[in-house]
Amino acid sequence: MSFDNAYEALTAAESDSESRWAFGTGFDDPLSGMDTTLPDGVDGAAFARYCLMLGDDALIASQRLTEWVTNAPELEDELALANIALDLLGQARLLLARAGQADGSGRGEDELAYFRDEREFRNVRLVEPPNGDFAHTIARLLAFSTWRLALFARLADSRDPVLAAIAAKGAKELAYHREYTAQWTVRLGDGTEVSHARMQQGLDAVWPLVDELFVPNATDREMVAAGVGTDPAQVRAEFDDVLEQVVAAATLQRPEASALARVAEQTGRDGIHTEHLGDLLAEMQSLARAHPEATW
């Protein structure tokens, strides 16, 4: 069987109606049939940590967004947020599978998603706090999707063909995520007095966790040197430009830098999280941990 691109090969198994990404249902390895040989000079353990960082960002963001199902203000937006969550879950699935393969441990998606403890997760802290109101969620998703799109656009040139394929397809999804949230930011910000106030409050609430997105850690630096990763600090200018345009169109005020919380020496990338991640994981992992060998 031939494919037009590597991502089609990664996701070919998804056409099987019996294949689902849910604990206990059974599914094929999404990397099945792919050449997963690491590029020359790339350390497998470090590359696995890098994939976990990107995969955990998507997994936790997806989990939070699914909480809007049955709770969104309109059916159309419930569907939109659910689809964005599914996009991110698909990215998480591929990245976690790549991590388990790269480090030689053989750990699959289920094991990495459901059987790691809080300190083993490597996601940025922006995705962890509760959703708040709709404007709060829009503000967080605007920041997250703008940052992640800038990263993935650069990762499409990664020396690792698997990561490059994931990033190229993911960038198309993230472009929609950014557009959706930008439109809602303008609609709320330039709307009524109440909607304007709520959108401003949403931006103010998420902004203290934004700076962390652009701080490279040791794994980032190692992967940049190996030609498979990208430096998050290099996307700050693009992020700022996009946010300035959206905030201006929404007649909002961008939070002042002086009001931002100082980035701690250790961040979510180091396994240091907010108090909210533990509760989120307890809910997400409860079934798998209660019945670790269950299938149906």
The domain limits of the chain are 40-290
Return the CATH number of 40-290, one of 3.40.50.2000, 3.10.580.10, 3.40.50.12280, 1.20.1260.10. Answer: 1.20.1260.10
pLDDT of residue 136: 98
pLDDT of residue 73: 85
- Give the number of other CB atoms < 10 A from CB of residue 196: 17
Residue type, 99: A
pTM, full prediction: 0.88
pLDDT of residue 20: 39
pLDDT of residue 294: 78
Q: Provide the terminal-to-terminal Cα distance of the chain, rounded to the nearest Å.
A: 30
pLDDT of residue 33: 56
Query: Element (H or E) spanning 84, and its range?
Result: helix 75-102
pLDDT digits (tens, 9 = 90+) for 184-199: 999 999 999 999 999 9
DSSP letter, residue 115: S
pLDDT of residue 257: 62
Those residues of the chain that have pLDDT short of 50 are 1-3, 5-7, 9-10, 13-25, 258-260
